[in-house]
Amino acid sequence: MVNTDGDRRAQLVDDAVEHVTAHGIADLSLRRLGDAIGVSHRMLIHYFGTKEQLFVEIVRTSEQRQRELLTRLHGERELSPADVARLLWRQLTDPRMAGQERLFFEICGYALRGRPEAVRVLDGLVSDWLGPLEAAETAAGADPVSARSRARLGLATVRGLLLDLLATGDRAGVDAAMEEFLRLYYSGLE
């Protein structure tokens, strides 16, 4: 089977995601990342252009993986919607994911300041999540009219609590806030 440029690029992103997950992004250069994943920094420049453009791809890939996990968890019939949310929350707040979560907020900050190499991360940042979350809301018994608003509220709450965790390190406080949110959010649906 011939390895195409697209296949190679996808593999490099996967390798970069794994490295960032394991080691974070503190002072990460293309040279060090290339060394860590077994390619030259010039190869990374060839495929991604800049470090920031590669970071955008890491964020987009990580987000896609999280949506796929959400979809898989919702497919498990024995789990309640709140249980699915708790499992996803545990995955997102696993200390090994802190590097990816920091990168997410850093790249979003770059994009919101209009840095051209990062602006692409805003494409689908919310809308890509609304479909799967809205479907989950409807399946949990939410009125189809309110499912989209509920999906957006859930996404915003999770992202806000992730930022809180990264900023404060208050795991117990953030977990308690998530439990309270889930109690309020699912009251009347389960």
pLDDT at position 27 is 75
Where exactly are the structural domains of the chain? 5-186
pLDDT at position 178 is 98
CATH ID of 5-186, from 1.10.357.10, 3.40.50.2300, 1.10.287.3510, 1.20.1250.20: 1.10.357.10
In which band, very low, low, confident or very high, does the pLDDT at 53 lie, cut at 50, 70 and 90?
confident
pLDDT at position 96 is 86
Q: Quick one: what percent of the chain has pLDDT higher than 70?
A: 96
Per-residue tokens: 95: 């200390």
In which band, very low, low, confident or very high, does the pLDDT at 21 lie, cut at 50, 70 and 90?
confident
SS3 116: coil
Per-residue tokens: 114: 């209009």
The conformational region for residue 49 under phi > 0 = left, psi -120 to 50 = alpha, else beta, is left
pTM: 0.85
